[in-house]
């Protein structure tokens, strides 16, 4: 089968998805063991044998609702390729806003001897790993309640931050939000992309065949249950002048700001994502008590 014919077949098979041609291109590149740039620049003229069979298996999985990232086992985030599987939420481009804001705020703090940074609800580790890789001088740790997520996050750190070093220079811990990591503080920066989908919406997504873990989606009745618990914990775990950054849905931005104010945070601001939606809210603890 000609390569262009395979792409047409793939896009037609995925007509019910949001991005059929893009998905087909990614799956075809994966079936050939390459990337989309190489696929279009120097890919083979024809697709045959095992590669064609793999491509059609990929298409069947995608048509069944499995995300492309789970099928290929990889997802690009902040310029790096992270391993992902159904134990974790697939990293979204909008979450890069959290990394960007953390780098900006952390660089402004410039603590000595090293900035102490912790990410709760780390999932695949994409945020903590990106920070540790971009700022080798920072002391980065991360936690999650899911043992499976921590296993994958640790693997990503060891691949992308400091190959061959246990944990890839990122310290990992099992913790319900910050409960188990309080003794490691105080921290200069705390970050989190917690589950913030309202329970009814999360259950509806699963009913439609959504394949991502409920633990990574369900944020309680209004989506803010974990944030209500996280902010007071973070206020106790942060050093004077330290900052908390959290991701939430744009529609929740004002409610999140109220939670920051209730926990005595100052300099509260919300940063917009790539689509112009409120995405990351940050606040700083007072320099004096």
- So what's the pLDDT on residue 186? 95
Q: Give just the sign of the alpha carbon dihedral 90, 94, 98, 100.
A: positive
Query: In the chain, what percentage of residues exceed pLDDT 70?
Result: 99
**Which residue in 273, 61, 12 sits closest to 31, CA to CA?**
61
Which range, 71-85, 157-171, 195-209, has the best average confidence (pLDDT)? 71-85
**Which pLDDT band holds residue 249 (cuts at 50, 70, 90)?**
very high
Report the distance separating Cα 99 and Cα 32, nearest Å.
32
Mean pLDDT of 68-87: 96
Task: Please name each of the domains of the chain with its CATH number.
Answer: 3-72 (1.10.8.10), 93-284 (3.40.50.150)
**pLDDT reading at 164 higher than 90:** no
What is the reported pLDDT for 161? 95
Asked, as a colleague might, if the bond just before 40 is cis with ω within 30 of 0, I would say no
Query: Looking at residue 208, what is its pLDDT?
Result: 72
Each residue's pLDDT tens digit, 262-276: 999 999 999 999 999
**Do 23 and 32 touch, CB atoms closer than 8 A?**
no
Tell me which residue has tokens 């209500």: 228
pLDDT band (50, 70, 90) for residue 289: low
Name which of 58, 133, 130 is nearest 101 in CA terms: 130
> Using 50, 70 and 90 to split pLDDT, how confident is the model at 110?
confident
Instruction: Read off the pLDDT band of 42 (50, 70, 90).
Output: confident
pLDDT of residue 209: 74
Residue 104 has pLDDT above 80, yes or no: yes
What would the two tokens of residue 273 be?
Answer: 């994502």
Task: Please determine, for residue 108, whether its predicted confidence score (pLDDT) is greater than 90.
Answer: yes
Percent of the chain exceeding pLDDT 90 equals: 83
Q: How many CA atoms lie within 13 A of 226 on its CB side?
A: 26
């Amino acid at each position: 089968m000609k390569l262009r014919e395979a792409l047409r077949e793939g896009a037609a098979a995925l007509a019910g998805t949001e991005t059929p041609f893009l998905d087909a291109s990614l799956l075809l590149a994966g079936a050939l063991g390459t990337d989309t740039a190489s696929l279009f620049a120097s890919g083979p003229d024809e697709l045959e044998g095992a590669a064609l069979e793999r491509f059609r298996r990929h298409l069947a999985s995608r048509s069944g609702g499995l995300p492309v990232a789970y099928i290929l086992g990889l997802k690009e985030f902040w310029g790096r390729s992270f391993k992902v599987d159904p134990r974790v939420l697939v990293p979204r481009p909008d979450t890069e806003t959290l990394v960007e804001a953390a780098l900006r705020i952390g660089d402004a703090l410039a603590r000595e001897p090293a900035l102490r940074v912790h990410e709760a609800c780390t999932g695949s580790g994409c945020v903590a790993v990106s920070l540790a890789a971009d700022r080798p001088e920072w002391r980065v740790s991360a936690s999650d309640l899911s043992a499976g997520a921590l296993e994958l996050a640790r693997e990503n750190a060891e691949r992308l931050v400091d190959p061959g070093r246990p944990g890839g220079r990122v310290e990992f811990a099992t913790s319900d939000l910050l409960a188990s990591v309080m003794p490691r503080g105080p921290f200069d920066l705390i970050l989190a992309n917690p589950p913030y989908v309202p329970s009814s919406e999360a259950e509806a997504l699963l009913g439609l065949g959504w394949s991502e873990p409920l633990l990574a989606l369900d944020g309680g009745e209004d989506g803010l249950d974990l944030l209500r618990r996280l902010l007071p914990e973070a206020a106790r775990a942060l050093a004077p002048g330290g900052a908390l950054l959290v991701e939430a849905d744009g529609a929740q931005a004002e409610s999140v700001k109220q939670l920051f104010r209730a926990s005595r945070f100052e300099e509260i601001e919300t940063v917009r994502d790539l689509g112009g939606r409120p995405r990351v809210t940050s606040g700083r603890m007072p320099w004096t008590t």
